[in-house]
A and B are shown apart, each in its own frame.
Chain A
Amino acid sequence: MAASITGNSVLSRRRFLGGAGVVGTVGLAGCSSLDGVIGSGASSAELSVQFWTLFSGGDGEAMISIVDRFNEEQPLGDVRIDRQRIPWGDYYTKLYTALVADKGPDIAIMHQALMGRFQRMLDPFDQYLSQSAADHYVPTLWEQMQFDGEQLALPLDAHPIGMYYNQSLFEKAGLDPQSPPTGFQEFKTACDTIVSETDAHAFTPTPYLDPAGMFRTFATLNHQRGGKLFDEETMEVKFDSQAGIRVAQLYHDITGKYGWDIPNTTENRADIAFQDGNLAMTMNGTWYAPVLQSLDGFDWNMFKPFVAPDKQQNYAQSGSHTIVLPRNPGRDTRTTEAAVNVAEWITQENPLWGTKAGHLPAAIDVLNSNALRESPLWPKSLSKFFEMTNDDQLAYKPRTPFNINEASTWDFLSDIYSHNVSPQKGIERGATTVQGLIDNVN
């Protein structure tokens, strides 16, 4: 009886293993046939360049259009771009993890401020570029991409922040939408008037109410007051100075004694309110312009965000998207050269990055192109950002050794805004956190 049971179990196990083998074989066949399908449209000499991006929304669509155009026109012969989009919030974690394992893409989008953190993981462009490569880009941006004398990235754009406002609400409050505020007193008067004359909120530092957005505006206002974020070597926190504390106090007052907004940082609350006409002003980056332009009948405009109390200088915080060449010991020279050429093509041949994504292109020819000036975004946002660039009014994010875009780093600003912590305590907490991040790296 036992033998019979054993015999049966062997048989059924064989059947099972056989079945599993069939399933596995079919699965593998499926994989190989999928590869075959993917590769069927490509010639044997075709080269695929892996390109990771983090864009979504308006600039996400623009980047899709750029990549699609490349793959249709094939300006570099048989080279194709294989674009992978990774959500913004996870992007640098995934990129870091991939690069640690030498499994990164051939080229990747990277914020200029993150280059310090990724420095050891990037291959310099220098040996693959012609001598005249620098001539194609805005010099200040080109220089921002250099680390220890090496060109670690090609600049794609500058994306400073501006003050977006609802012209209809300005009119409703009796304000002149053609004469937006140019300093704190005018700004305060405008905010107070909007609150008293309309049902709308007056202002939020960011439409998303996220820590990263809170930081962009904090850095802008702090800089306008003459404050610094860090010392020159990015070794010591400096935003806990009087300038920083004053901006923190302003954050507290916006949702407190000024009553320009409510002390609540529910994500996107202000974005919805702004687009619904329930918020008059908000600070955001270049990418917000195409979003607002796409809203039917929404009467928006933008002014330079120089509204810090006791302002000493006109500055707006700016980031810059770049394309980097991640280290990858397994990548052959042909692929690397193709990847560099693709990066040059993306950064130099696409006015769409300005006209559709709303950013200031880093390539000089594109920045001065008619396409940019004929864009509907030019009079409202791009021309003002362009002026700010020409007037040297952009303060680029420092290249910190930690991820400066990490939300949790700046959540103390959200807590100040929502009155979960006092401005003084909040700034102290933030300074301790950020100094800890610097110390850990060093």
Chain B
Amino acid sequence: MNLRQRETLDGILFALPYLVFFCVFLLYPLLEGLYMSLFEWDPLFPSQSQFIGIGNYVSMLQEPAFWNALGNTVYFVVLTVPTMVVLSLVLALGVNREVFGRRYLRTIYFSPYILTVSIVGIVWSLFLATGFGPVNYYLGFVMESPPDWLGSPTLAMPVLAVVTDWWLLGFNFVILLAARQNVPERLYEAAKLDGASTWRAFRDITLPQMRNAIAFVVIIQFIQQFQVFGQPYVMTDGGPNNATTTLVFYLYNAAFSQQRFGYAAAVGYLLFAILVGVSYINYRYIGSDSA
């Protein structure tokens, strides 16, 4: 075996464990899900499942609850992703400067990210609870009737968005801070010599240099927030008035509460198509060098 063959074999052997996991835990479920989505699936006796073609997809598009869930999900994404990206960019640029205690600030900004969604959801629910939550307790001194944060159809989703931003900001912050620190300082020195303003330097140096990192954060956050489940599951159970029933929450209920596994698989496939499509657009127009 010559060196080239040996290296090829090494490469395959290195990749093999992942490929096995990929096939078993991703590719197979993906294909199985597609298969299930074409049936009225009987989980107890799969062989008795009835083939209905695209029936589940048609039903899905005809169900108002599906459109409500899709609308809620888009609303959540619109509320979270831009604010998260902008805020984490601002924090990253701020901490990149020689500010007092910036090491501590980095730790503080990142620390919520290490929490699980269950802890975040429960703590915030208790924090915002009417009757015994500290937020409304103190608001009670200045307001006659403080808001029912998680019980109002108008407020519930924005509250989930704020909680999500607080929770996940740290991850984006670290990515963007690393990206900012990779921008050569000589570019700023040259711009300064040319008399460029801070805004101009930001617009023409910082943003273009960080474009790939920003695109990465946008795509990752879009995918993550479009699949939001834990926050409504823990904090609002999809309510009030279905105002926080997101697409994955809807899918979960269809599968595990109603045992409509074929239908849920169809919803999952639509979600998959949306995520692939939007990720491609994001990558094409934000991350691509030709943009």
Residues of A within 8 A of B (CB): 2-3, 6, 9-10, 93, 96-97, 99-100, 120-121, 211, 262-267, 269, 272-273, 402-403, 406-409, 411, 414-415, 418, 420-421, 437, 440-441
- Alpha-carbon distance A415/B242, docked complex (angstroms): 9
- The answer to whether residues A440 and B241 also contact, given A6-B7, A266-B150 and a CB cut-off of 8 A, is no
Question: Which residues from chain A contact B238 at a C-beta distance below 8 Å?
Answer: 408, 411
Closest B residue, CB atoms, query A407: B237
* Contact indicator B151/A266 (Cβ below 8 Å): yes
Question: Which residues from chain A contact B130 at a C-beta distance below 8 Å?
Answer: 262, 264, 266, 269
Interface of B is mostly: loop
Closest 9 CB pairs of A and B: A269-B131, A266-B130, A420-B241, A93-B256, A100-B43, A415-B241, A264-B130, A264-B148, A420-B240
* Contact indicator B3/A411 (Cβ below 8 Å): no
Question: Which residues from chain A contact B7 at a C-beta distance below 8 Å?
Answer: 6
- Alpha-carbon distance A30/B238, docked complex (angstroms): 42
- The answer to whether residues A440 and B240 also contact, given A2-B3, A266-B131 and a CB cut-off of 8 A, is no
Question: Which residues from chain B contact A273 at a C-beta distance below 8 Å?
Answer: 131
Q: Which of B43, B131, B238, B256 has the most CB of A within 10 A?
A: B131
* Contact indicator A6/B6 (Cβ below 8 Å): yes
Question: Which residues from chain A contact B125 at a C-beta distance below 8 Å?
Answer: 267
- Sample of 22 A–B contacts (CB below 8 Å): A3-B3, A6-B7, A10-B10, A96-B259, A97-B256, A100-B44, A269-B131, A269-B132, A273-B131, A402-B258, A403-B257, A406-B257, A408-B237, A408-B238, A411-B237, A414-B240, A415-B241, A418-B240, A420-B151, A420-B152, A420-B241, A437-B258
Per-residue CB proximity of B237-279 to A under 8 Å, as 1/0?
1111110000000000100111110000000000000000000
Closest A residue, CB atoms, query B156: A420
- Alpha-carbon distance A441/B44, docked complex (angstroms): 13
Question: Which residues from chain B contact A93 at a C-beta distance below 8 Å?
Answer: 256-257
Question: Which residues from chain A contact B230 at a C-beta distance below 8 Å?
Answer: none
Residues of B within 8 A of A (CB): 3, 6-7, 10, 43-44, 125, 129-133, 148, 150-153, 237-242, 253, 256-260
- Alpha-carbon distance A267/B148, docked complex (angstroms): 12
Question: Which residues from chain A contact B260 at a C-beta distance below 8 Å?
Answer: 440
B129 contacts which of A262, A269, A414, A437 (Cβ < 8 Å)?
A269
Closest A residue, CB atoms, query B13: A13
Closest A residue, CB atoms, query B128: A266
Closest A residue, CB atoms, query B145: A262
Question: Which residues from chain A contact B237 at a C-beta distance below 8 Å?
Answer: 211, 407-408, 411
B256 contacts which of A3, A96, A120, A263 (Cβ < 8 Å)?
A96
- The answer to whether residues A421 and B241 also contact, given A266-B131, A269-B132, A403-B257 and a CB cut-off of 8 A, is yes
